[in-house]
Structures are given as structure tokens and as C-alpha cells.
Amino acid sequence: MNPPDSLDDVTPAWLSRVLSARGPQVAVTDGRTDRLIDGTAAKARLVLTYRDPDAAAAAGLPTRMWIKGGYGHESTKILPTGAYAVEARFYRDIAHRLTVTVPACYFAACDEETMQGAVLIEDLDLRGVTFCHAPRPLRVDQAAEVLDLLASLHAFWWESPELDKVPWLRAPVEPGGSADAYIGRFSAADLDRYLALPRAQAAPAGVTGDRVLTALRALQQRVTAPPRCLLHGDTHLGNLYLGADGRPGLLDWQTVWRGNWAHDVTYFLVSALDVADRRAAERDLLRHYLDRLAAHGVAAPRFADAWDDYRRYVAYGLFIWVINPVEAQPEEVNIPNITRFTTAADDLETFAALGI
């Protein structure tokens, strides 16, 4: 079954069909949109009325859920990257096998020709979760709990042959991939223009467009090297939530990759903590993550090697946030992340760690 061509095609008949596909037959008599968010993907919150509410409840179907897919203003730019298809494949093929906390999914499908993908996922507001947000950095103890989650995710297929059985899994910014083509759109002069904007005024002088781009190109030569594991790929605060019990969960699985653990851990720690807390706690937090990996039965990297990879992988988030457009994230999100990554690159001597 393919995803709908547009949000206009998300009709009661379509909802009845897809929600009945994996369980008891249910009939949706009304499905109206009461909220629409247009970002990297379009997300529409649906309020559903069922012919038999008790039967729907017994089947585990709520009266509110979100449909997410490539139906927004930015979608024509994002479709060629495969991001919408990747998220649908993740929920369809992998999510149910993991122990990490993710939203419940009621439908996931992608069109392999157009690379369109759509998912129907739970409305987490009904669970009373708190959505994380870049202007509100996490406490160090909260960051440690997210690292517990990442260790569980990474340990699942750590150096596993299963990684090579999933044909759509690629390494982050792997040369020749769709993300590599996106990077190729930017020159060092482009990055210098971004760094000259008021939003990057806190960037240290040593962070230049040429060094940012050269660092990312150097990192690209490492992304397929072992150890490899399953990655979320986009672990900034906007894709994290905390349950009523404080337990963290991960949203937005559009960049699921196979690659080095440091991609997720570095991107998370640098974006999630304010600069002072990161400087004070990052070594202890990295040791905590490695200990949790070992507790899952993984032969965790030595701390010295892990520290070097942590320093290097700052290069990915540095590039991403310097060039991140306001159409993807508002400046209240871009500014703290640009500050955190440019400062971390300077603190951790990321350029030197990559031989620049």
C-alpha cells in the first residue's frame, strides 16, 4: 500500500482502510485536521470519529493521531534525499524490534519510485510528554538518561551483519549518497556568508567556512569505518521528548543510518547541553555511555579512541547548523545550536583532530 498523494487524500475511507490493515476492521466516519505544522516534513494532527468507538479502542486506536510525510513547502527539496521514505521504512521494518522509546505507529508506507513516505503516529500530547527544545538545554543527569537510550539503540545491531541486510541503510554523509549531493551545493564562500550573519556572532574566529567544509569532507572519509551500529542520525533536542516519568524518547526517524556511534552521541551532547555544562561534564558523560554499551554486552571502544571520535564528529553538526535555513528551524533554535557547535569545535580542536 502506497502513501497518500496529498493530505487531501487522507479521507475517512482511506483512514478506515489503512487502520484496518493490521487488525480488526474499523470504520472512520470523520477525520478532520485540527493542527498543521509545515517544516522539513508536513505534520497534520487528525481528530478521528469511529463508527464503533469501543471497537476502535479495543484495537488500540486513539481518537487523535498525526500523519507525517512529504506534503509541505520544503518537500520537493527533501524528497530526493529519501528522508520521508526512510522514516516510513524504519517504522515498518525496524521500530517494533527495538527496546527504545518511540511513538506508536499505526501505518507506515513509502513509494519506492517517488520516494514519498508517510506515517500515522500517536499524538504524544495525550501521554503528557514534554518536548525538548534547543533554548532549554538539558541538565547533565537528563543527558545521561538519553545516553542510556542511545546505548540501547546502538547495542542492538552493534557490528551486526543485520546492518548489511537492510538495503536502504547508508552511512551518514557517505560519499556518493544523497546527503553528499546536498553538501556539494555549498562552497566555503557560502559558509562564510552564513558565519557572517548575526545569528553566528558568537562563533570563534578560528571557525571559517573553508575549515568547516574541509572538516566535513575529512569526516566523510571515516563514516563507513567500524565499529558500525544503527543510528538515529538526528539527535538534537527538537527530536527528543521526556515522558511523564522523565524517561526520554526519540522522534523523527528520517535520517536512520548505519555508522559510528559517535555521530549520534556527539550531535546529542553538543546540542543538548549549554556550553558550560558540556565543558564540565562531557568526559564523564562519554564514560557513562561507554559503560552502558558494555552493560549491553558490547565490546565498547577504549575511552581514548572514543574521545578522539567525539572530537571529530563535531564537524557534522557544525556544518548542519551553520547552514540550517530558517525554513527548517526558527532562529531561536538555530542560534543556540550554532553557538554550541562552533564553540565545541574550538574547545575540542575538531579541525586538528581531523588533520586540518
Q: pTM higher than 0.85, yes or no?
A: yes
- CA distances 295 to 43, 281, 322, Å, are 37, 21, 36
pLDDT band of residue 116 (cuts 50, 70, 90) is very high
**Does residue 109 lie in a domain region?**
yes
153 and 78 fall within a common domain: no
Read off the pLDDT of residues 197-248 as tens digits, 9 standing for 90 and up. Answer: 999 999 999 999 999 999 999 999 999 999 999 999 999 999 999 999 999 9
Average pLDDT over the chain reads: 96
* Res 182: pLDDT: 85
**pLDDT above 90: residue 273:** yes
Distance CA 187, CA 216 (A): 12
Q: Domain range spanning residue 325? A: 130-353
Name the amino acid, one letter, at 325. P
Distance CA 14, CA 2 (A): 11
**Does residue 326 lie in a domain region?**
yes
According to DSSP, residue 167 is labeled T
**Does residue 315 lie in a domain region?**
yes
**Does residue 342 lie in a domain region?**
yes
12 and 43 fall within a common domain: yes
CATH code, domain with 31: 3.30.200
CA 291 distance to own-chain centroid? 23
213 and 114 fall within a common domain: no
Domain boundary among 92, 127, 162: 127
143 and 170 fall within a common domain: yes
Omega before 227 cis (within 30°)? yes
238 and 307 fall within a common domain: yes
Domain boundary among 72, 98, 127: 127
What are φ and ψ of residue 227, in 5° steps? -80, 145
**Does residue 2 lie in a domain region?**
no
174 and 273 fall within a common domain: yes
CB 183 within 8 A of CB 319: yes
217 and 307 fall within a common domain: yes
Residues across the chain: 356
86 and 195 fall within a common domain: no
**Does residue 19 lie in a domain region?**
yes
Read off the pLDDT of residues 287-335 as tens digits, 9 standing for 90 and up. Answer: 999 999 999 999 999 999 999 999 999 999 999 999 998 878 899 999 9
According to DSSP, residue 296 is labeled T
> Total structural domains in the chain?
2
122 and 267 fall within a common domain: no
**Does residue 1 lie in a domain region?**
no
Average pLDDT over residues 130-148: 98
* Res 123: pLDDT: 97
Q: Which residues contact 208 (CB under 8 A, 6 or more apart)?
A: 188, 191, 192, 195
114 and 231 fall within a common domain: no
Average pLDDT over residues 24-42: 93
Domain boundary among 95, 127, 159: 127
Distance CA 43, CA 7 (A): 10
15 and 83 fall within a common domain: yes
CATH code, domain with 259: 3.90.1200.10
201 and 251 fall within a common domain: yes
Highest mean pLDDT: which range of 74-78, 134-138, 169-173? 134-138
